[in-house]
Amino acid sequence: MALDQIVERCQDLYEDLSFSSVQAWKEAGSGRKAIGYMPVYVPREIIHAAGMLPVGILGGGEHLDVIHGDAYYQSYICRIPRSTIELAITGRLDCLDGMIFPSTCDVIRNLSGMWQLKFADKLVRYFDVPQNFDRDVGGVFYTHELRDFCEQLEALGGNRITNANLAASIALYNENRQAIRDLYQYRSAKPWQTPTAEVYLLMRAGMVLPVDDHTRLIRDYLAAVETVERPLRDNCRVVINGLFCEQPPLGLLKSIEIAGCYVVDDDFMLVARWLLHDVPTEGDALENLSEAFISYSAETSCKFVALREDKGKFLVDSVRRNGAEGVIFASPSFCDPALLDRPMLQNALNAHRIPYTAFKFAENSGQMQPIREQAGTFADSIKLWSAA
Amino acid sequence: MNTAATQNPEIQKEDSMLLQKAMINANYDALATAHEDGKKISSTFVPGNLNELLMCFDFVRNLPEINALQAGMRKKSGGYIMEAERSGHSEDVCTYVKSDLGMMAQGQVGPNGKPLPTPDLLLLSYTGCFTFMKWFELVRDRYDCETAMLHVPYQADGKITDNMRKFVVTQIKETVIPALERVSGIKFDIDKLREYLAESAKAEDDLVWVLQSARNKPSPIDAYFGGVYYCGPIFTAFRGSPDTTAYYRALRREVGERIEQGLGPVTPDGVLEDERFRLVVEGPPNWTHFRDFWKMFYDEGAVVVASSYTKVGGVYDFGFRHDPAHPLETLADYCLGCYTNHSLPARVDMLCNYIDEYQADGFLVNSIKSCNSFSAGQLLMLREIEQRTGKPAGFIETDLVDPRYFSPANVKNRLESYFQMIAQKRSRGDARTAA
């Protein structure tokens, strides 16, 4: 498939707020079920092993007119829950047979209760993950939670999740993780070839497509992008941080690049990059997923960092590994995790003399000029004043 | 303006309030001199606090939420918050956190005017509030002191599972107690813990009796504005101590006398004489204008007969008591059972139950900007409760300790309209009954 066609397909999926691809997938086989999940992390392998389609629900984005959703939230609550409620009330999420709400923050947690009250006929699960990373403590708790999750899906779908089919699902997701690692490495090496808006759309496609289709799409993209030559600009290299839950408008990502910043790492759709290595396919599959979470998962503001000296290390490592020259903190308004974490991450960057800038956005932010100016000034300051 | 309370130029306080004040002051004094006295300090949060366990290791207990609350009541929090915002903390986030950080930045002077020493341990009871986790990461970032995390899973399906309980117990055994032993240098004595827990249960019995006294008409207590005082000792640094048992015994006696005399609650302007509206309130109060806020209620003869905020540090009125026979399991159940660790449907059930049991005329939400744990979902809760009970519901917005978010005229207008609505609804009901 040609590059333009791939990007166009991803764009169509991104703009489709009716989730018709999910509906089509369900109609292609009898008794098929789809399970929605919110950011940041759920083990999609388990949903897949139950014969169901995991569907990432990341709010309504910039094109959704939120009419009902605002009546459910005070003005000081972020936008993603109100647009998600809007999607549900307007029937756009009718294709989902259940919704999973990970332990991202109090707002997403309470949204699980709202779902229980509003959509009592659907499966609703608050997905708790341990903040204790000792495998004999948090690991044991988490393995039990995973087992309980399996039983819940088995009851809903009628398919038993065997160790063999969970291992097979893990293998498919390992391939997907590898493809995504390749995509991110490629962008880091040649950011001029892979605009972040395209990378973003590719990752978004993975929220609605079956995992093998998504892996193929990434592979096709990587092959196609090598056939075109895009101009190399004198941009600085930045990592963007804070986009792990509420999503930025596409224009925001384009504005950052137009302003002179190549994005070489980010934290959007962490569900696909949460486990940092392949999960073993031998042995007890649930234990393997649990061990992966405990021992080699990514870091974000929703996760407790046990030692002070490790706070911000994940971000600093990303900056170093990707040869970035600075960090842009783009945090959703009223996002407790991102905004409370930011001063500590900034302290870690200060300790390593890494420059940064920060602004807030909402998924429906329309005015990009201030962001372009701020990102442009940041890029200029790096070019002019950075020690490098 | 209605003045339902007896006007008195001096602010009226119950004897138990004075007793409590003495306890709080003594604790701040103990904090100020803890290091000179060779004692260690543990900071911890109100919901899910392991006070009895900390007492086993002779820690002096510091509760940053209470410091922020005290700063709010003493009109100092506004300056602290601005200080924190100047140093890069977002205007969007919890003002308790910013008040605490601002206080540290301005020299870390406690509400008694004496310095608050650096804690030796942060006991992070991560119960019912995401912000707690970030708060202690921020405090640790400043002080570089040891942090013991106790992750308490959320009761999403309205029940405590064996897996949840076991997880909390294992953490207490494997993570928390070893950290407390290490920092304090004192070995854990489970019999001591049992003694403290037995003491807690006695105080809990009396607290529940006091809270449930609001079933009387007139109610002898205000279970929100007065209730926050009544919950003070048991929610903070004192649960498990004989002083606390004595406090609740005295409080119970005091309230019992008021019932016998048919008296209403004691307000800052005296005893409320004409109970006109009985309310159930959801959400924390505002602290920066606490008295003004309360006055808006008692001037209209409104009494809060039950509130969710007085359950934030432990839900005791549905039967839970600390159980010395199962010391670690009971601590786990306590942590798991705090109000904001309950799901929204469970919170709705609880509030509907209160409206019925306490014969309330209405339900009011005081929605707090700082507190997503409470606030996210309250508008749906309001509709659900109104629909189920048929009682009029009202909604106001304030903040915990940020004075910029307390608009007296706006809140007063809303409350007056709400009370009128209840009165109208009641008169329509009376007319229908008469017909």
A positions 111-130 inside 8 Å of B (CB): 111-114, 116-118, 125-126, 128, 130
The per-residue pLDDT for B90 is 97
Task: Please give the DSSP secondary-structure letter assigned to residue A356.
Answer: E
**Quick check: B433 pLDDT over 60?**
no
The per-residue pLDDT for B15 is 76
Q: Which position has the higher pLDDT, B171 or B8?
A: B171
pLDDT band at B432 (very low <50, low <70, confident <90, very high): low
Residue A20 contacts B where some CB pair is shorter than 8 Å: no
Task: Please give the DSSP secondary-structure letter assigned to residue A309.
Answer: G
Q: How many residues does chain A have?
A: 388
Give the model confidence (pLDDT) of A365-377 as tens digits: 998 999 999 999 9
Q: Kindly tell me the burial class for residue A11, based on how many C-beta atoms sit within 10 Å of its own C-beta (0-12, 13-18, 19 or more).
A: middle
Tokens for B396, please give them. 């106001």
The nearest CA of chain A is from the CA of B350 a distance in Å of 14
Q: Which of A105, A138, A343 sits opposite B130 (nearest CB)?
A: A105
Q: Which position has the higher pLDDT, A125 or B4?
A: A125
Tell me if B175 and A333 make a contact (CB, 8 A cut-off). no
**Quick check: A293 pLDDT over 70?**
yes
Tokens for B107, please give them. 């020299």
**Quick check: A388 pLDDT over 50?**
no
Q: Which of A86, A101, A109 to mutate to test the interface with B (most CBs of B within 10 A)?
A: A109
**Quick check: B1 pLDDT over 60?**
no
Q: How many residues does chain B have?
A: 435
The nearest CA of chain A is from the CA of B372 a distance in Å of 6
Tokens for B254, please give them. 């005091």
Distance CA B234, CA B208 (A): 11
Distance CA B144, CA B153 (A): 26
Which residues in chain A are closer than 8 Å to B92, comparing Cβ atoms? Answer: 76, 333-336, 339, 360
- DSSP-derived pairing of the beta strands A261-265 and A123-127: unpaired
> Which residues in B313-327 are b (16+ Cβ under 10 Å) and which e?
bbbbbeebbbbbeeb
As a whole number, the mean pLDDT across chain B is: 95
Counting residues of chain B whose pLDDT is more than 70, the rounded percentage is: 96
The single-letter code of the amino acid at A1 is M
Give the model confidence (pLDDT) of B239-280 as tens digits: 999 999 999 999 999 999 999 999 999 999 999 999 999 999
The nearest CA of chain B is from the CA of A24 a distance in Å of 32
B positions 343-372 inside 8 Å of A (CB): 343-345, 347-348, 367, 369, 372
**Quick check: B435 pLDDT over 80?**
no
Distance CA B260, CA B213 (A): 11
Distance from the first to the final alpha carbon of chain A: 40
DSSP-derived secondary structure for A202-218: HHHHTTTS-HHHHHHHH
Tell me if A117 and B348 make a contact (CB, 8 A cut-off). yes
- DSSP-derived pairing of the beta strands B270-271 and B266-267: antiparallel
Give the model confidence (pLDDT) of B145-184 as tens digits: 999 999 999 999 999 999 999 999 999 999 999 999 999 9
Residue B94 contacts A where some CB pair is shorter than 8 Å: yes
Give the model confidence (pLDDT) of A13-52 as tens digits: 999 999 999 999 999 999 999 999 999 999 999 999 999 9
The nearest CA of chain A is from the CA of B302 a distance in Å of 25
Give the model confidence (pLDDT) of A344-363 as tens digits: 999 999 999 999 999 999 99
Q: Find out whether B380 and B74 touch, Cβ atoms under 8 Å.
A: no
**Quick check: A196 pLDDT over 60?**
yes
pLDDT band at B126 (very low <50, low <70, confident <90, very high): very high
Which residues in chain B are closer than 8 Å to A344, comparing Cβ atoms? Answer: 137-138, 141
pTM of the model: 0.96
Which residues in chain A are closer than 8 Å to B343, comparing Cβ atoms? Answer: 112-113, 116, 126
Give the model confidence (pLDDT) of B330-383 as tens digits: 999 999 999 999 999 999 999 999 999 999 999 999 999 999 999 999 999 999
Cβ neighbours of A65 (radius 10 Å): 10
Over residues A116-121, mean pLDDT = 96
The per-residue pLDDT for B9 is 56
Counting residues of chain A whose pLDDT is more than 90, the rounded percentage is: 98
